[in-house]
Structure 1
C-alpha cells in the first residue's frame, strides 16, 4: 500500500510527465463547472489505489454509511493496483473516463487540474476548509493556479532515528539531537572528527524537501520557474560539501538509496536516518544493540515545520453527479472516518483537532506507538515542501548536480544553476 512515507510517495512520483493529457485540452477547456449545488443523489464512482486487499471491510462499511445517510445514492468502489496507477489515470483522463472521486497526491492532481478536470474545491467546498489542518488544506494548492484541487485525506511524515550511543561516544548530548541544520552540520563535523572519519552523521545528499526545510524559496510566486539556486540553496549545498569532505556524510551518499541508508544505520556506521515502525521492529530482531539506543526526533528544519506527505480525494469537474461526489469526498475525509482509518493503519488524519486524541499523544509501549506519537506531534504544523510540479526527472537532475558539487566537479552555485535550468526546461515541456 502506501503507509510508510517512502511508499506513500513512490507511487505518486511515478506520474512524472506521463499525465500530459494533451487530448484533454487546456485548463479552460475541460468542461463542467466548480459548482456543487443540487441534490445529493446518483451513483458515485470512487477510485483508490491498492487499498482493497487490506482494507476491504473498512471501505465497505464507509460506503454503506454514506448510502444510508444519503438515500438515493450509490457508490461504486474501484481499486487500482499501485503499479502504473499514474498511467491508468492518464489513459482514463484522455478517454473521458475519470471516476467521480479519485485518490490522488499533489503531483498526480496537478496535470488533471491543469487540463480542467479537477474541481476547484476552494470554490465548490470552501465552507469545509476549517475542518482541516491549514497545512493539509493548502497541500493541494497548485503552482500558478488559484484554489485547492483535492480534499486532504490521510497524512504522514518522516521522523528521524538517531543512535544515542554514537552521539555519546562523540561527546554529543544523546538527549539533545540536532533540531536545525546549523546544529546538524556542527554535530556531524564533531562526530566525524571524534571517530576519525569512521562514523558519518548522514547517508544521503539533500533532496528537494531538504531545501524546503532549510528555508529555500523553491519556486517564484507564480509557480512559473524554480528558484532553489538562490543564496540559501547555495549555502545548503556548500554546508553538505563540508560534511562530505570531513567524512561526516557517508562515502556512498552520492549513490545511496533509502534501503542502502537503512543498512548503514543498522550497521551503526551512520548516526541519523529516517525510519518508521517497521524499521524499529526489524532493528529489534536483527540489531538489538542498535535498538536499545535508538532515539526518535523530528527531521531537522530551519522553518519550525516538518515535511508532510499527503493523500487527497479529487472531484472530477466533468462528473455528472457533482453534489454527490463532493458530499462523498467530504464524508470520507471527515474527522470520524479519518480517525477510524487511522486505527486500521499507521496514518494520520488531516482534520483539525484529531491529532490531540490520546491515540496520537500517548505511547502504548509498542514500537508503532513510539513512532506514531513522534510523527503525530510533528505533523500538526507540517507542510508539503515538494512542489506538485517537481517530477521524477527533476529529482534526478537535482541529485546529479548536487553529486557533482560534492565531488568538486562544479561549485555549489554552478551545480544549482544547472539544476534549475534543467528543471525549468522540463517544466516548460510538461
Structure 2
C-alpha cells in the first residue's frame, strides 16, 4: 500500500472542480451527526480486499452489531485508476458515503463541496488523534478538516557506522540537523578523497519543509519555497555536489538506485525500511553489521509523515451513520488492531506509546518500527496537498540545473515557483 499517491490527484481535479459547491447531488448534505445512527451506507477502500478481507468483514460486522439499524456495503477499488473512479463517482452523484483518500485526493473534493467538514460534523473526536495527523487533510485557503486521519507511515534514516568512523566521525552520533549533516558530509568526502558521498538524493519539497522554508501561502494561492531558507538549502546542496559529498548520480536517482548506492557502501546515509534491513542482511552482511538507525534530518524538530484518511461524503443521506462508521474504523482500538496486521502506524493519540511501538525484541522489524513510531508523535505532512507530480518534476528539474551550475540556486527556485504556480492555476 503506497503511502503517497499525489500522482492521482490530477484526474480527480479535472472532473470534480467544475462541479458546483452543492456537491454531487443525491440528497443529504447535513453536517449534523448527532442523530440516530442508522441506515445503509457504502464504504470504499483502496486496494485492501486482497490482503485484509477478514479484517474488514469482522470490523463491519462488529459495527452493525453495535448499531443494529445500520448496514455497511464494502467496495474495494484497485490502485490503478482509483482517482478516475472517484472523479467519475463525484461527477455522477454516486460517490460512496465513506471513502479512503489521501490528502491530495481530498483537496479537489473539498473544494468542490463534496467532502464533509469534520471540524463541524465530528469536532468532539478531534482530540483522539495526533494533531499533525488531524491537520493532514486540511486544505490551504479553506477552513475545516476533510477526512478522519487513518494510518500513518514514515521512515527512519539508515547510516553506515563504519564509513562514519573511517572519516573520523562519531558513529554513535549521526547528524540530526541539516547543519550537522552538511558538516559531516563535507568531512566524509574530504577524508575519502571524494570516493564516499553521504547522500544519494537531491532535495525534495519535504527537505525544504524540514529545513524550515515556507512552502505555500496560507491562502493556497501560491508557493513560497524560494524564500531565504529555501535558497540557503539549495546553496548548501550545491556545495555538497561540488565536493562530491552528494552522489554524482543523484540528479537521476530513484529510490531503487539510491538504495543500491547505499548497499554497495558508495553513500553513507539513505532512508529505508525493515525490508531493506532484511535485504542488507542477505546481500551485504558487512554493511548490515554496521547499520545505524536514526531520525530523518530536520531543523524544525518534526519529521515528515504520510497520512491516509477516511472522507465522509457531504451529500450522504445518513450523516450520523457515515460519521460514526468513519470514526469507528479510525478509533484507537481498531487502528491498533490494523497496525498489527500491516506495517503502518496509528494516527490516534497515545497509541504510539503501546509496547508494540516502544519495545524491541531484537528483530529488524522492531528496530525500524520503534524508531519510526518515536518520530511520528510530532510528525507533520510537509508536502502541500496541492503539490502535484508535475510540480515535483518542475522542482526537480530546476534543482538539477542549480546543482550543475547552469543557474543560481535563487534563479532555480524562482523558476520552480513560477512553474508550480502556473500549474496551480490550471487546477482551477
Provide the TM-score with structure 2 as the length reference.
0.97
CA apart distance, 1:30: 5.2
Alignment check: 8 A CA contact 1:165 1:174 kept:
yes
CA apart distance, 1:44: 1.4
Alignment check: 8 A CA contact 1:15 1:87 kept:
no
**Aligned with 1:360: secondary structure?**
helix
Please name the residue that 1:13 is paired with: 7
**Aligned with 1:254: secondary structure?**
helix
CA apart distance, 1:173: 0.6
Pairwise mapping of residues 321-332 of structure 1 onto structure 2 (< 5 A)?
Answer: 321-332=318-329
In the alignment, structure 1 residue 129 sits paired with structure 2 residue 126: yes
Q: Distance in 1 between matches of 2:217 and 2:251?
A: 28
Please name the residue that 2:199 is paired with: 202
Q: Distance in 1 between matches of 2:408 and 2:24?
A: 45
CA apart distance, 1:95: 1.2
Deviation readout 1:310-361 (Å, 9 max, x if unpaired): 0000000011111100000000000000000011011111111111111100
Which residue, 183, 200, 207 being the options, matches 2:180? 183
Please name the residue that 2:295 is paired with: 298
Please name the residue that 1:93 is paired with: 90
Deviation readout 1:261-294 (Å, 9 max, x if unpaired): 0111111100000100111111111111111111
Q: Distance in 2 between matches of 1:210 and 1:176?
A: 21
Pairwise mapping of residues 100-119 of structure 1 onto structure 2 (< 5 A)?
Answer: 100-119=97-116
CA apart distance, 1:27: 3.4
Please name the residue that 1:256 is paired with: 253
Please name the residue that 2:370 is paired with: 373
Pairwise mapping of residues 147-166 of structure 1 onto structure 2 (< 5 A)?
Answer: 147-166=144-163
Q: Distance in 1 between matches of 2:187 and 2:337?
A: 45
Which residue, 24, 27, 36 being the options, matches 2:21? 27
CA apart distance, 1:12: 4.2
Alignment check: 8 A CA contact 1:118 1:315 kept:
yes
CA apart distance, 1:38: 2.0
Q: Distance in 1 between matches of 2:23 and 2:161?
A: 57
Which residue, 252, 276, 279 being the options, matches 1:279? 276
CA apart distance, 1:392: 0.5
Q: Distance in 2 between matches of 1:249 and 1:18?
A: 37
In the alignment, structure 1 residue 351 sits paired with structure 2 residue 344: no
**Aligned with 2:14: secondary structure?**
coil
CA apart distance, 1:28: 5.2
Alignment check: 8 A CA contact 1:209 1:385 kept:
yes
Q: Distance in 2 between matches of 1:160 and 1:426?
A: 32
Structure 1 unaligned segments of length 5 or more: list them.
Answer: none
In the alignment, structure 1 residue 307 sits paired with structure 2 residue 304: yes
Alignment check: 8 A CA contact 1:19 1:86 kept:
no
Q: Distance in 2 between matches of 1:229 and 1:340?
A: 43
In the alignment, structure 1 residue 266 sits paired with structure 2 residue 245: no
Alignment check: 8 A CA contact 1:44 1:321 kept:
yes
Please name the residue that 1:428 is paired with: 425
Q: Distance in 1 between matches of 2:11 and 2:155?
A: 26
Structure 2 unaligned segments of length 5 or more: list them.
Answer: none
Q: Distance in 1 between matches of 2:204 and 2:10?
A: 16
Q: Distance in 1 between matches of 2:288 and 2:63?
A: 44
CA apart distance, 1:385: 0.5
Which residue, 138, 144, 169 being the options, matches 1:172? 169
Which residue, 374, 389, 394 being the options, matches 1:392? 389
